[in-house]
Amino acid sequence: MTIALYMDEHVPLAITEGLRRRGVDILTVQEDDRRGYPDPALLDRALELGRVLFSQDEDFPIEASRRQAEGIDFAGVIYARQTAVSVGDCVRDLDLIAKVAEPEDYFNQIQYLPL
């Protein structure tokens, strides 16, 4: 099984398109009609969909850490700081994660990019 990703609304379109060209299963917040939803609601939605959330919004690892501390489940968060990781590096690392890892590897976990 591969990992399906849920892209936060702050993710550049170039990352989403690059991953789709590589065959990665992507759903964006915009496509899911969840633009503007608060971070906790998006993490709940990603869990409901069985998708690991990718974001470049620094609030997501903070919310995920809070959930870890409080024992609140989430499907997983992958975070890349916008100024630290290029579009190409994000595409490469997310493609690798999506095709090699299993969903349970990321359950209640936070992964920082670059790998």
Domain count across the chain = 1
Q: Is the pLDDT of residue 31 over 90?
A: yes
Q: In this predicted structure, what is the pLDDT of residue 76?
A: 98
The Cα 84–Cα 42 span in angstroms is 24
Residue that the structure tokens 């379109």 belong to: 13
Q: In this predicted structure, what is the pLDDT of residue 68?
A: 98
Q: Is the pLDDT of residue 9 over 70?
A: yes
Instruction: Render pLDDT for 53-65 as a digit per residue (tens, 0 to 9).
Output: 999 999 999 999 9
What residues form DSSP beta bridges with 110?
Answer: 77
Q: Is the pLDDT of residue 1 over 70?
A: no
Contacts of residue 19, Cβ cutoff 8 Å, sequence gap at least 6: 5, 26, 91, 94, 95, 98
Q: In this predicted structure, what is the pLDDT of residue 37?
A: 96
Mean pLDDT to the nearest integer, 74-88: 95
Q: What is the CATH number of the domain that holds 109?
A: 3.40.50
Structural domain harbouring 13: 5-113
What residues form DSSP beta bridges with 27?
Answer: 6
Q: In this predicted structure, what is the pLDDT of residue 12?
A: 96
